[in-house]
Amino acid sequence: MDLNLKDKVALVTGGGRGVGRGVCRRLAEEGARVIVNDFHEERAVRVADEIRKSGGQALPVRADITDGQQVRSMVTRAVETYGPVDILVNNAGIPTRAPGEEAKGGWEEFHASDPSSWKKVIDLNVYGTMNCTHAVLGAMVERRSGKIVSVMSEAGRVGEAKLAAYSGAKAAILGFSKAVAREVGKHRINVNVVALGAVDSKELTFGELDEAAQGRLNQLFKAYPMGRGLERLSRASDVADAIAFLSSDRAEYITGQVLGVSGGFAMP
């Protein structure tokens, strides 16, 4: 299916690794000109180089998306280089740790948490998404065209014990996106969300894992019906394909929706 993304300008936050990298590469494969944002400049440069070596167009931009001024400067640079932003993918977010990593500070009961630990999670997930959306939306309204896709976690839809601040921040992305979708539908701008479960960054096959790792994965599969069937967790490519579709005019009558790319983890 041709998604007709050739020469569209796409800004992807947190594009320097993992899901963000997959999204950047997928959009570039479709012909989009990609602004690869990351807090760590070397990551953004590496992904942009990968895209260019494959024949695509990419601009790496280091910016802290919790800083509104840095976001506005990033968008200005994008416009000066490629033109107005047609597609915004709000991907950047603080990843959570697996339950077995509690000793490293990953999960904790809310009543025992330190309020100072909430701020970084909320700033990046909530204010980062709002800053980037605010920076591109005015021009989209003027042009009566645009696609915004934000990435949340299924924890924001169903709640996750010991991840209260994280779940709340991710839920805020959904509420915010639905509200904006209602505002800007009249301007032919689509605003949607994809919800993720566990993502396998190493993308190993089940057979490549040792017996202990297979056992841990089998326990996880109890929550992922498709994971059990495919013998794997989701991959960056799964998410990238969904975002590419929602970024295209093939999805022009879809707005204010959340698409779970999580193997059936949540079925609301």
Note if 253 is an active site residue: no
Residue 156 near residue 170 (C-beta atoms within 8 A): yes
Out of 82, 127, 166, 224, the active site residue is 166
Bridge partners of 59, per DSSP, are 35
Per-position DSSP letters for 76-91, written without gaps between them: HHHHHHT-S--EEEE-
The tokens for 219 are 């326990």
Angle at 90 between CA 89 and CA 94, to 5 degrees: 140
Q: Is the Cβ–Cβ distance between 226 and 261 less than 8 Å?
A: no
In 3D, which of 207, 220, 223 has the Cα closest to residue 100? 220
Count of Cβ atoms closer than 10 Å to residue 54 Cβ = 11
The four Cα atoms 64, 70, 75, 79 give a dihedral, to 10 degrees, of -130
**Cβ pair 36, 61 in contact under 8 A:** yes
Place of tokens 């590469």: 25
CA distance 239 to 185: 24
Neighbours of 241 (CB within 10 A): 16
Residues catalogued as catalytic? 166
